[in-house]
Homo-oligomer: A and B are copies of this chain.
């Protein structure tokens, strides 16, 4: 949530000349996205988001991200659509950084999703999985099970500051997941992998678009479902709302039917998703200096979610109706 690179008006004007998008009418740095500099650019023709990719984004991944957005929007999914310059290129340089323009999406993210929002999300997630089929590029999920142990090791010893039993709980859970999650063999394809409420826009109750595909990768579709169960269906007190879970799963299943082994794996996938966000939040928590203007997310929220998933015998715990 920041603008890291300031773009002066003269450099912006030169950049915009490479496109057939009219003249600049307004230009504002926006507080969106954690890793990059983002601007809302209005021209005489339309509105756009201009992103400058900062250091934490691997430049080799940019063709995957931009190509995916092009693929998805060409097939009718509502997501930011990269805008090519007159030379056909969507990725160019601005202020010494890789930069891209994408179309602006209307909509507002919801803080407290209702079951209706969860149903919309489930449908859109299934559409994303279906629409991603046929996309040629591949990107492995660097934050899946093989990446969790190194993150836990990096936090080890220091995690006492967050919770005294955290190291032991995480170690035991990783033992379990390395024996279960790691052995799953489920239908795979392009997943969003970070489809939290702040990355989903609504106009009223209707979903109007998906954004922020910078964790997108190839992985099990049902893992994306499990991430959304974690991100959308818990109440502020971290109790699971079965009505919301059912709404999400039913709507997903109606668009892309879940296979029996995907349904059976949901408790394991949900545990894996909880550990993934617990660990990245824990590392960010420990590595962010006190007083920094970055919003720290509580890792313990995901410890509570993990405890729920550990009690789940099967997918009915999440609202699944066989």
Contact = CB atoms under 8 A, between A and B. Distances in A.
Interface string A1-18: 111000011101000000
A12 B30 CA distance: 18
A24 interface: yes
A1 B1 contact: no
A116 to B, nearest CB: 14
Q: Taking each of A8, A108, A112, which has the highest tally of chain B beta carbons within 10 Å of its own beta carbon?
A: A108
Contacts of A25: 106-108, 203
Contacts of A108: 9, 12, 24-27
A292 interface: yes
A222 B131 CA distance: 63
A28 B27 contact: no
A8 B289 CA distance: 26
Contacts of A104: 26
Q: Taking each of A12, A105, A291, A293, which has the highest tally of chain B beta carbons within 10 Å of its own beta carbon?
A: A293
A317 interface: no
Nearest to A24: B108
Nearest to A28: B30
A108 B43 CA distance: 11
A98 interface: no
Interface residues of A, number: 36
Contact of A289 (B31, B291, B294): B291
A96 B271 CA distance: 38
A7 to B, nearest CB: 9
A32 B28 contact: yes
Contacts of A199: none
Contacts of A112: 8, 10
A29 B30 contact: yes
A22 B80 CA distance: 25
Interface in A71-105: 104-105
A40 interface: yes
A26 B292 contact: no
A30 B26 contact: no
Nearest to A4: B293
Contacts of A291: 289, 292
Nearest to A6: B295
Contact of A31 (B26, B30, B109): B30
Contact of A26 (B1, B8, B107, B111): B107
Nearest to A11: B111
Interface string A104-132: 11111111100000000000000000000
A113 to B, nearest CB: 10
Interface of A: 1-3, 8-10, 12, 23-32, 40, 42, 104-112, 201, 203-204, 289, 291-294
